[in-house]
Amino acid sequence: MAGQSLAMSRLVVVGAGVSGVSAAAAAVAAGATVTLLDQGRQPGGRLGLRRLPDGRPVDTGAAYLTARSDHFRAHVDDWRRVGVIAEWTDTIDVVDGDGWHRGVPGPMRWAAPAGLRGLVEHDVATLVERSGVVAEQTRVVAVLPDATGVNVVAAPWPTAPAPDSAPATSPIPAGEPPQVTYRADGVILAMPGPQARRLGPAPGPDYEPVISVWAGYAHREWRAFAAAFINDHPILGFLADDGSRRGDGAAVLVAHTTADFAAAHLDDPDGAHGPVLAAVAEVTGWGGEPSVSGVMRWGMARPIATETAPFGWCGDRVAVCGDSWHVAAGERSRVESAWLSGRAAGSALAGLDTR
Ligand SMILES: Cc1cc2nc3c(=O)[nH]c(=O)nc-3n(C[C@H](O)[C@H](O)[C@H](O)COP(=O)(O)OP(=O)(O)OC[C@H]3O[C@@H](n4cnc5c(N)ncnc54)[C@H](O)[C@@H]3O)c2cc1C
């Protein structure tokens, strides 16, 4: 039965990154009722966001998105109409052993004035307000299919105050809260394969890590650029000018490390801070001291392989989707592949096969 249209009317989507929210939207459009669960304080997954002390957002996960397919372009147009996305640049520079080279114009890279995470937050709010989607913050710990449906077992994060500070009259018992079970006809695991495998057998490639280091400076003295791919560097893989990306000219840079460098610092990401900032100074030729900076660790940043299939099946009632799926041969995983994969999984499980 796996892979056929099953017309499931009650779906649970686990993961509210790009793929999960797209899956939820497609399932609702096909007539399903959807519960969307994510362990994060905000939806968005790898659309990472940090804020400067004055509240200004900095993208610390995905740097931008591109839109090549008609379906995703139409969705980007919707985002543009409501003002949550904006064109950034079509030109990314290249830095290699011979120095800094002006990039060749390519596809438009889109950015979001409030951060890319705002795109997913916008879509979740729309689904909740207009389509009755229930969105909850909870960590799923098991997905248990049976003959007639699936039990999704979740362990909400403890909300009780620590025992020391709990007032005697607190209505919330301290300690681990009880588990909650959601019953569904079908489940979509919208997350990297290795995360899905914590919940049960699931297909999908392993992922490699990246560490992001962001830094705000009192002023900018580096060359004018939007972003640069850093080739053959032991530490840096990518550098973005966040002031260019956000259009406010703020003196903020965001560096992404190579996978090898990140793997060596996963247990001590703060130890990456100094070496990355030194590498940024080397590459930009400017050694200003940041007034504010931080580190973000992505243990599963990018899949090490991709699938052309739109999504995968874990038995008859459970599908897995995300950025490693729906990738044409020779292409790379990206925000767009996550969105397309989620859309295909949501449509298929809800009974409307749009693959
Ligand atoms: C540093 C970095 C730079 C990148 N740069 C780019 C770029 O420039 N352009 C581009 O197109 N792409 C880029 N990407 C990739 C892009 O971010 C991803 O392709 C996309 O965000 C993946 O979305 P997703 O929904 O598949 O997965 P995710 O965003 O990982 O979402 C999975 C969600 O599942 C939740 N979850 C997992 N397990 C559980 C559980 N047990 N219970 C509840 N919730 C759970 C997580 O909290 C998460 O929110 C980058 C990624 C990183 C990390």
pLDDT band at residue 160 using 50, 70 and 90 as cut-offs: very low
Report the distance separating Cα 212 and Cα 242, nearest Å: 13
Instruction: Please state whether beta strands 150-155 and 139-145 pair in parallel, antiparallel, or not at all (unpaired).
Output: antiparallel
Across the chain, what does the average pLDDT equal?
92
How many angstroms does the Cα of residue 250 sit away from the middle of ligand 1? 26
Report the distance separating Cα 19 and Cα 322, nearest Å: 5
Please tell me the predicted confidence (pLDDT) of residue 1. 41
Dihedral of alpha carbons 336, 346, 113, 209, sign: negative
| Closest CA relative to residue 10, chosen from 106, 179, 112, 151 | 151
pLDDT band at residue 33 using 50, 70 and 90 as cut-offs: very high
Neighbours of 162 (CB within 10 A): 9
| Residue minimizing CA distance to atom 34 of ligand 1 | 15
Say if residues 279 and 255 touch (Cβ distance below 8 Å): yes
Q: What percent of the chain has pLDDT over 70?
A: 91
Query: Which are the contacts of 347, defined by CB distance < 8 A and separation ≥ 6?
Result: 26, 27, 29, 30, 353, 354, 355
Is the confidence at residue 164, as pLDDT, over 90?
no
Mean pLDDT, residues 338-343:
98
Report the distance separating Cα 340 and Cα 327, nearest Å: 9
Q: What residue ranges define each of the domains in the chain, with the CATH number in brackets?
A: 1-62+116-159+171-206+305-355 (3.50.50.60), 89-108+208-303 (3.90.660.10)
Please tell me the predicted confidence (pLDDT) of residue 169. 40
| Residue minimizing CA distance to atom 29 of ligand 1 | 45
- Sheet of 99-101, strands arranged across: 99-101, 93-96, 227-230, 236-241, 252-257, 207-216, 292-303
H helical segments located in the chain = 18-29, 70-81, 117-131, 193-196, 242-246, 259-264, 273-284, 335-350
Atom of ligand 1 nearest to the CA of 324: 26
| Residue minimizing CA distance to atom 12 of ligand 1 | 334
pLDDT band at residue 306 using 50, 70 and 90 as cut-offs: very high
Mean pLDDT, residues 179-205:
96
Is the confidence at residue 352, as pLDDT, over 70?
no
Mean pLDDT, residues 297-325:
97
Q: Which residues line ligand 1 (CB under 6 A)?
A: 14-20, 37-40, 45-47, 61-65, 139-140, 190-192, 195, 210, 212, 256, 298, 301, 322-323, 333-335, 338
In this prediction the pTM is 0.94
Mean pLDDT, residues 243-264:
97
Say if residues 114 and 86 touch (Cβ distance below 8 Å): no
Mutate to test the pocket of ligand 1, among 137, 182, 191 (most ligand atoms within 8 A of CB): 191
Please tell me the predicted confidence (pLDDT) of residue 7. 63
| Residue minimizing CA distance to atom 35 of ligand 1 | 15
Mutate to test the pocket of ligand 1, among 323, 331, 336 (most ligand atoms within 8 A of CB): 323
Instruction: Please state whether beta strands 99-101 and 33-38 pair in parallel, antiparallel, or not at all (unpaired).
Output: unpaired
